[in-house]
Amino acid sequence: MGHDHSHDHDHGSELSEVDARVRALESILVEKGYVDPAALDVLIETYETKVGPHNGAHVVARTWSDPEFRDWMRADATAAIRSLGYFGRQGEHMVAVENTPERHNMVVCTLCSCYPWSVLGLPPVWYKSAPYRAKAVRDPRGVLADFGVTLPSGTDIRVWDSTAEVRYLVIPMRPEGTEGWSEEELARLVTRDSMIGTGLALTPGQLAEGEAA
């Protein structure tokens, strides 16, 4: 299973085999009139800049910093998230589940790949894979270990099955040492994996290390 890590890439002129195939397929579809290049550009721009985990990070940061918004998320996550401008396909009915020292939540879709696009963007490949879908239910601690997460033995792990009717957003625990941080600063600690439950929010130290690397 893959993980939510950033990597440096060589932006030279040589394309990878996958990139070359994608370019070739795109060219064929455009030439045959099946795809409008302008529409394709808008779609790509939308998912790169308007839809993605940064939306969910904003929601989590607001939940951490605003007690009234936290209460709203508990009562009606769909409406609370919509109030921040995040709604649409596969985000029609949202439920927020909060991690605590006693309980850790993790999300899976056992049937296919139901996923809250409006706050997390497109699902990662590993989320859709059969091994993850099966192991998350059978051995959630093993899945967490695969992602480098080890929880105390007394922590209860609850796995939520995302469906076509309901999709879940995990609210990770707020890291210590973030008192007085702004929403923008807090959002930088929130990772995609932490909102699925296969990871934890970054600590201030981890954030600093990542920025220095």
Residue of 65, 114, 162, 194 marked catalytic: 114
Residue of 65, 109, 118, 194 marked catalytic: 109
> CA torsion 194→199→200→201, rounded to 10°?
-50
Active site residue 65: no
pLDDT single digits (tens) 96-143: 999 999 999 999 999 988 999 889 988 888 999 999 999 999 999 999
Q: Which of 201, 158, 204 is CA-nearest to residue 63?
A: 201
> CA torsion 139→111→101→188, rounded to 10°?
120
Residue of 16, 27, 112, 182 marked catalytic: 112
pLDDT single digits (tens) 37-83: 776 565 555 555 556 899 999 999 999 999 999 999 999 999 999 99
Active site residue 153: no
**Would you give the distance in Å from CA 141 to the centre of its chain?**
19
Active site residue 109: yes
Give the SS3 label for residue 108. strand
According to DSSP, the residues that pair with 160 across neighbouring strands are: 107
Active site residue 162: no
